[in-house]
Amino acid sequence: MCMSLNRDMLISGGADHTVNVWDTTTLRKLCVLDCGRSSNTADPGVDVVSCCALGRSGTIVAGSYDKSLRVWRLPIYEVPSKWKSQMITKTSQVLSGHTGSILCVTLRDAYNNVQHPLSTSSTAYYDDEDTSSYESTANSIAKDRTSSSSDATDISNAFCLSGSYDCTIRMWDTTSGKCLATTSQTSGHSGPVLAIDSPAKCGRLCLSASQDSTACLWDIQCNFKRIRSFGMNDTANADAVLSGTSGTVGHVGAVKCCQLCTFTYGTHLAVTGGEDGLIKIWDGRIPNGLAMNLTGHDGAVNCIQAGSYVLPTLCSGGNDGTVRVWDMRKVGGNAAREGSGCSDGSNGNALLVMHSHNQEPVRCIKWDWNKIVSSGDSNKVIVHSMHDGRVLFAGSGHGATVTDVCMDESHFISCSLDSEIRAWFAPVQ
Burial of 144 (0-12, 13-18, 19+ CB in 10 A): middle
Using alpha carbons, select from 410, 411, 409, 352 the residue that is nearest to residue 381.
Answer: 411
Q: How many CB atoms lie within 10 A of CB 343?
A: 10
pLDDT given for residue 134 in this prediction = 34
pLDDT at 80: 73
Alpha-carbon distance of 25 to 17, in angstroms, equals 25
pLDDT at position 318: 93
Helix (H, G, I), strand (E, B) or coil at 86: helix
pLDDT of residue 235: 41
User: Are the CB atoms for 250 and 237 separated by under 8 Å?
Assistant: no
Residue type at 3 in one-letter notation:
M
Q: How far apart are the first and last CA of the chain?
A: 26
Name the residue among 222, 212, 193 with its Cα closest to residue 51: 193
- Tens digit of pLDDT at every position of the chain (429 positions): 787 666 778 888 888 888 888 887 777 888 888 887 665 555 555 678 888 888 777 888 998 888 889 998 888 777 777 777 777 777 778 899 999 999 999 988 665 444 444 544 333 345 554 433 333 333 333 343 334 344 455 444 678 999 999 999 999 988 888 898 999 877 789 999 999 998 877 778 889 999 999 999 888 888 888 888 887 544 433 333 333 333 467 888 899 999 988 765 556 688 999 999 999 988 877 777 788 888 889 999 999 998 754 557 889 999 999 999 887 765 443 333 343 333 333 344 678 889 889 899 999 998 877 889 999 999 999 998 888 888 988 888 898 999 888 887 677 888 888 888 888 876 665
Closest CA to 268 of 316, 334, 218, 202: 202
pLDDT number for residue 304: 93
- What local confidence, expressed as pLDDT, does residue 42 receive? 57
- Of 333, 323, 220, residue with least CA distance to 281: 333
3-state helix, strand, coil in the chain (%, to 5): 10, 40, 50
Q: 404 — phi, psi (to 5°)?
A: -160, 155
State the pTM of this model.
Answer: 0.81
